[in-house]
Amino acid sequence: MSDERRLDVLRAIVQDYVSTSEPVGSKALLERHHLGVSAATVRNDMAALEDEGLIAAPHTSAGRIPTDAGYRLFVDKLSQIKPLTRAERSAIETFLSQSVDLDDVVTRTVRLLSSLTGQVAVMQYPSLNAATVRHVELVSLAADRLMLVVILSTGQVEQRILELGSPTHLDDEAAVAQLRSRVNELSVGRRRAEAAVALVAAVAELEAPPGDAQGQSRAAVLRAVAGVLAEQREDRVVLAGTANLARSSNDFPLTLSPVLQALEEHVVLLRLLASMDGESRESVAVRIGAENPISDLASTSVVTASYTAGGVAGLGVLGPTRMNYPSTMAAVRAVARYVTEILNQ
């Protein structure tokens, strides 16, 4: 049996099983695919594939289904990921470009991925701890109160009221504008933690004798802004399409419970995306079945890609191993690219 013919038979089995969810026999292969060989040859090829652990019989019948190893060989031997149609690309771009802020981008992305693939979609928020500061705004609200607005490279906007506990003595717009300019000079282009360190270091140059109330107020504002920027933020993930798993319940050998439980643990999903980041930095990463490091997800496949927004984060889909890998990989790759473009505009 030639290696190329063996791959043709394996591809045909994968394609038929994904589309029908029924074990595939030699007769069906010959009817649906132009393999150019006899039924006996196909049966011999299937026996050899089974010996190699690439297909298996789920019960005593002539039909065979792909194993995790079979899916892996199928994915690895894809010559290229079939690109989406122009209409599909246009629809993705239009839908995502209507987003009004980062939260809307994330919500639209998971809804879109779930709809395109029929799987559970997951997206990691850009890490705020890795984000750089794009702009800082200070607005005087009262004698002892300022509004702080921080715009990050991820597109996220943080707003905070700074309660300083004593009059700021920054009661004219020129003084606030001067301080705002200094804060931006020290912060813009730096990560949050780095900007906080720079602001604290600059406090000394603003510390003034007890009689200089305005200098002391400037120092107090810098310390307050530094405190906000130094706060550590937890990374977050958003899901959509969990109900799709119920439609594929027959693809899970025992029960959906472990998978659903894992999906509820966002820390688990963050760890999974992080573990696949290196694989998907330049392309699309695929983990099939037992390749997943999380035991509760050993009956699933995960397809991810990275996107960039002030840092690298991940998005992708999760579903049963009986998955249309070429179209799923194409959708995940395309959406990741559009998300990167939109968040870096």
152 band by pLDDT with thresholds 50, 70 and 90 = confident
What residue ranges of the chain are covered by domains with CATH 3.30.390? 133-230
Q: What is 3-76's CATH topology?
A: Arc Repressor Mutant, subunit A (1.10.10)
Q: What is the DSSP string of 78-101?
A: -SSPPPPPHHHHHHHHHHHHT--S
Rounded average pLDDT over 319-335: 93
Q: What is the pLDDT of residues 9-61, one digit of tens each?
A: 999 999 999 999 899 988 888 888 888 888 888 889 999 999 999 999 887 66
- Minimum mean pLDDT among 145-149, 194-198, 252-256, 262-266: which range? 252-256
In the prediction, which pLDDT does 213 show? 67
Find all residues with CB under 8 Å of 24, minimum gap 6, and list them.
12, 13, 16, 17, 63, 64, 65
pLDDT tens readout for residues 278-316:
665 558 999 999 898 888 898 899 999 988 876 678 899
Beta bridge partners of 303: 286, 317
Tell me where in the chain the CATH 3.30.450.40 domain(s) lie: 86-126+235-343
pTM score = 0.76
* Span 162-171, average pLDDT: 71
Surface-to-core class of residue 207, CB atoms within 10 Å of its CB (0-12 exposed, 13-18 middle, 19+ buried)? exposed
What is the overall mean pLDDT for the chain? 85
Q: State whether CATH 3.30.450.40 applies to domain 86-126+235-343.
A: yes
What mean pLDDT comes out for the span 215-235?
Answer: 81
Per-residue confidence at 75, pLDDT binned at 50, 70, 90?
very high
**pLDDT, tens digit, for every residue of 235-290?**
789 999 999 988 887 888 667 888 888 888 888 888 888 888 766 555 899 999 98
At 267 the pLDDT is 83
When mean pLDDT is compared across 50-54, 133-137, 232-236, the lowest value belongs to 232-236
So what's the architecture of 133-230 in CATH? 2-Layer Sandwich (3.30)
Instruction: pLDDT band for 1, please (50, 70, 90 cuts).
Output: very low
pLDDT at 212 over 70: no
Checking if the pLDDT of 208 tops 60, the result is: no
d(CA 28, CA 23): 10
pLDDT score of 308: 82
Closest CA to 306 of 288, 287, 328, 284: 284
Better pLDDT: 142 or 55:
55
Q: Where in the chain is the domain with CATH 1.10.10.10?
A: 3-76
pLDDT of residue 169: 64
